[in-house]
Amino acid sequence: MSSNKLSEIELMKGQLRPPIKLFAGSASIEIAENIAKSFGTKLGKVDILRFSDGEFQPFFEETVRGAHVFIIQSTIPPTDNLFELLLMIDAAKRASAYKIAAVIPYFGFARQDRKDKARCSIGSKLVSNLLEAAGISRIITLDLHADQIQGYFEVPIDHLYGSSIFVPYIRSLKLDDLVIAAPDMGGAKRSNVYAKFLKTPLVFTHKSREENHKIGEMTVVGNVKNKNVIIIDDMIDTASTVCKASEIMTKKGAKSVRVIASHAVLSGNAYENINNSSLTEVIVTDSIKLKKQSSKIKIISIANIFASVINNVIDHKSISNIFIASENNQD
């Protein structure tokens, strides 16, 4: 029996540890470098051939044969970032990688998690189908917009929670009269996890949207007078919701209003909205690279958590001990 064939059999039996290789997509180079550094390795070499018409073709500049490959890429708009990830997965599969894990710090299209209007798409389900068709064996991601997206996949998915880094930061602030707030009814479950863990009251805002998706009326349910309020959300897009919530809470006597969100999408007038708001601070992870800097925006890296999870996945260990406060227990 050839040595190559013997090695394949030993890998299947778990007697050999396959080479571990981490690669970055072009949208997530900084966080990928931090993950690789925390993991104790360097990113693998990958390049992209770009054609004049906008077409592109990623390719690996080193062998991935027999390797456990982790491809790190957030699928933020434009959709080129998603398609680049799909092409990298396909390239790794065709180059005989042993296993391919997609590490997606920010999972795009997650707001399209159900059919909430007639004749509409369910984008997150389509994305899950595409990733599996491309050849992934696992997904590692952070704070999905909707937990049910995990059920769209037929491969294992490790769902990380930003609370692992946010809770220690909240405690470091040593705020008296702390109150946790949900930005809307949809985020109440997530905010309630923080409130229970930190043993603080929970308030929430109720908002209505007009036909053009602009926020209509907003009310705060709960007492915020003389309180230090922290609004918990999974993402900040235009920041209009949290800025309006901050304005109302401040008028109701809140001492300070902060926002914690895992994903800084920050599109449209988000930076202007934040800078001109009554918000004391906006705390986010580095799942998405900021387009510009703001004195009100603080970044806490999630790279160490991703590196720990990758290491546990490789060693077939539980990841539940990594999380501080989560909506669900994980194996």
Catalytic site positions:
207
Characterize the bridge pairing of strands 215-221 and 202-209.
Answer: antiparallel
Do the Cβ atoms of 61 and 46 come closer than 8 Å? yes
Cβ proximity of 309 and 140 under 8 Å: yes
- Amino acid sitting at position 215: I
**What DSSP character marks residue 19?**
P
Strand partners, 285: 300
Dump the DSSP string for 140-153: EEE--SSGGGGGG-
Task: Tell me how far apart the alpha carbons of residues 222 and 225 are, in angstroms, rounded to a whole number.
Answer: 9
Query: Which candidate, 24, 35, 93, 84, places its Cα nearest to that of 64?
Result: 93
The answer to whether 274 and 243 have CB atoms below 8 angstroms apart is yes
Let me know: does 91 contact 44? Beta carbons within 8 Å. Answer: no
